[in-house]
Structure 1
């Protein structure tokens, strides 16, 4: 019986896993299984096909969790979205901004107690008008009333009109109904009515405070001229709103 011949390797050929007996037996099987000496337990890297590096998934998961919240706020849904939508509604309307700043200016020009009565009366009555808008109670001439409010209140500041407190409060209250109705009628359907109302009332109050802060300049002669000029600018803007030029 002839002895079994072992496979031979060419001179200088490297030891490969296909010839385990010739290249070292058990140790080479371990090398083949583990991917090479010096790197136990890891697969051999193929330089012609590099493996892509794994990236962390935490930012993507966080974005996925936060995206619904941002979407709800953007669409005005729920409590948070309703508040955000209501808060932004007066700030995004130049006619609303002009009239609400004029209320604060006029209150500052009239002095105490009008400086607080007018900015408090306007949001309270505006909330009532907002409820009318949500309930779809018809109110004619809404856009005209909003534009007229900027014109009338701006002229009151520019001319330093000083009516009795009750008359000034009545004028402010009438215009507040139009502003509130416009806010309520444009409330998103999925929004919380209370949160939406709280948003636009808060924004209105902040605009009133901005007007009061500017109106406090009227204690000085130069500031008085500046405040009256601001009232004139608001009146011109109201005229542009009323005629459709703006």
Structure 2
């Protein structure tokens, strides 16, 4: 376990200098491919979306599917708010806090009642979706772009579920909880960048 913790720390350290948050507004945003790649361009999104899948796996049925379905649906709603320019305060803070909270929930092996887990995931999904929608360039095909980022998000959730299934193996719970620690630390780093 100590070797895994050291490996995790080295991996996190190597990733930190190259973190590229997905909220730069850069890119052509021309359609599906841009929308698909946008969540992958920022580790803040990747961390939270993988964490949703891991948390679902940790909680078991029906959360393993309900949480990853809830996130993209509510994220699309947040995206509409962003496209329309509806003021939502603290977007970047909400995105950073999503990794911290979800990571801590994974570390602790938290299994809240499903309605509470859905509410937490949905609240964070609004922030992530808003960021995507607010950065949608005027020239982009909004429908194709949205389809791209929703599908990409779903695949990140599936990756989280697959990783979370390690809990079924010997010592798997420790590995998954360590990943939760990395996600929470990354969220702390993202939050520091918001205030930097």
TM-score range, shorter chain: 0.7 to 0.9
What is the TM-score of this pair, normalised by structure 1? Answer: 0.67
**Post-superposition offset of 1:221:** 2.7
What runs of 5+ residues in structure 1 fail to find an aligned partner? Answer: 1-73
Number of positions where the alignment pairs a residue of Structure 1 with one of Structure 2:
169
List, as ranges, runs of 4+ consecutive aligned residues in structure 1 with deviation greater than 2 Å.
none
Match 1:112 to one of 48, 57, 61: 61
Partner of 2:104: 155
> Which of 44, 60, 70 is equivalent to 1:95?
44
Unaligned runs of at least 5 residues, structure 2:
1-26
- Could you tell me which of 25, 28, 31 is aligned with 1:75? 28
1:110-132 Cα offsets, whole Å, 9 max, x none, are 00000000000000000000000
TM-score by length of 2: 0.84
Q: Is the 8 A contact 1:146 1:179 kept in 2?
A: yes
CA shift, 1:82, in A, is: 1.1
- The structure in which a higher percent of residues are helix is 2
Of 133, 158, 167, the residue aligned with 1:184 is 133
**C-alpha RMSD of matched pairs (Å):** 1.3
What SS is found at the alignment partner of 2:109? coil
Higher RCO by CA contacts (8 Å cutoff, separation 6 or greater)? 2
